[in-house]
Structure 1
Amino acid sequence: MRFSPVALAIALAGLSVSTSLQGQRADAQIDPRSMALLMQGRAAAASGNLDGATDLIETALAVDPRNRAAFLELASVATRQGLPGKAIRLYREALTIEPNDLTALRGQGEALVAKGAMEAARENLARIKTLCAKKPCPEATTLASAIAKGPPPSAEVATKVPDKPEAAK
């Protein structure tokens, strides 16, 4: 009799956990409406309508925030718009969903290079190489060439500290 309250508590805890897990969708099941909006966004991006693509893909994410492909596409659009900071954040969101996504790691690394954060980009490259192990990895090659090329001139200027102006005499 001493164990019945403990056994009852464990049984209720197990029942409540299993009930809450049954109501959730599997991660692989992305809402079809979100996928349809993503496809429309890709088409808009391909035709050069980057603002329209952003709107459609953001709507796809509002419908289903687990749509990793939408984060990747939106980050790609941000890169094309010259917004590497936004792209880094969006790639981070995709990596939150799937930490071992090679495409997201490469894209984030390239955006980090564009921003001038070379050390963080090298960390992404090391992680990609670890994930690829011994098989050929085009993501590692692409990111390595972007790192070798270095940041664009505007990013280099942004990372340098300006000299202090001399005091007026």
Structure 2
Amino acid sequence: MRFAPAAAALSLVLVTTASVTIASDRTPDARAALLQEQGRAALAKGESQAAIDAFEAALAIDPGHTALFVDLGEAARQVGLQGKAIAYYREALAREPRNFAAMSGEGEALAERGALEKAKRSLAQLESLCGATCPETQALRARLASGVKPRIAADTGDSKPASN
């Protein structure tokens, strides 16, 4: 009887850990995977809207496929919608907290939005989890080192007007 609460807590932790592990290892729906590949091909050609359409269609088929949120973030960044990209990356991270591509993408979007301190914190977190030599860490570090200029498609209303 003394060990019942501890045993219950331990079993809850094991069930949660097992379900998270299983969720990240699942294979996506074949139709969603095909649409994802079409979207990636369109993104590589610079056809951002076609890529977004393909990724969103794939997400409608398989809403549990986390990699689609990372792809949508990349597409949003390509058209200058860094705020939307950050939201997609954060959704991917909520589903898979150790998704290094989402961490790197979020850091790059933050830098492109002008939030360099937040981007540097993302880099530090990525380095601590993934290491200094992993591709995602190197991509974010290179982006920060390149002297990122903000790329925002439209005024979001959160910037102050320039004074004369």
TM, length-normalised to structure 1: 0.70
Secondary structure of the residue aligned to 2:89 is helix
Deviation at residue 161 of structure 1 after TM alignment:
4.2
Pairwise CA RMSD of aligned residues?
3.0
Residue 142 of structure 1 aligns with an amino acid whose one-letter code is A
- The answer to whether the 8 A contact 2:42-2:48 is kept is yes
1:112-131 equivalences in 2 (<5 Å):
112-131=110-129
Alignment-derived partner of residue 9 in structure 2: none
Q: Where do 5+ consecutive residues of structure 2 fail to align? A: 1-14, 16-21
Query: How far 1:110 sits from its partner (Å)?
Result: 0.5
Query: 5 Å matches for 1:1-169?
Result: 26-27=22-23, 28-133=26-131, 136-152=133-149, 161-162=160-161
Alpha-carbon displacement from aligned partner over 1:111-133 (angstroms, at most 9, x marks no partner): 00000111211111111111124
Structure 1 stretches of 5 or more lacking a match? 1-17, 19-25
**If the length of structure 2 is used for normalisation, what is the TM-score?**
0.72
State the AA in 2 paired with 1:116.
Answer: G
CA distance in 2, matches of 1:142, 1:46: 17
Query: Which 4+ runs in 1 deviate beyond 4 A?
Result: 158-165
Q: What is the number of equivalent residue pairs in this alignment?
A: 142
Is the CA contact 1:113–1:150 (under 8 Å) kept in the aligned structure 2?
no
State the distance in 2 between where 1:47 and 1:144 align. Answer: 25
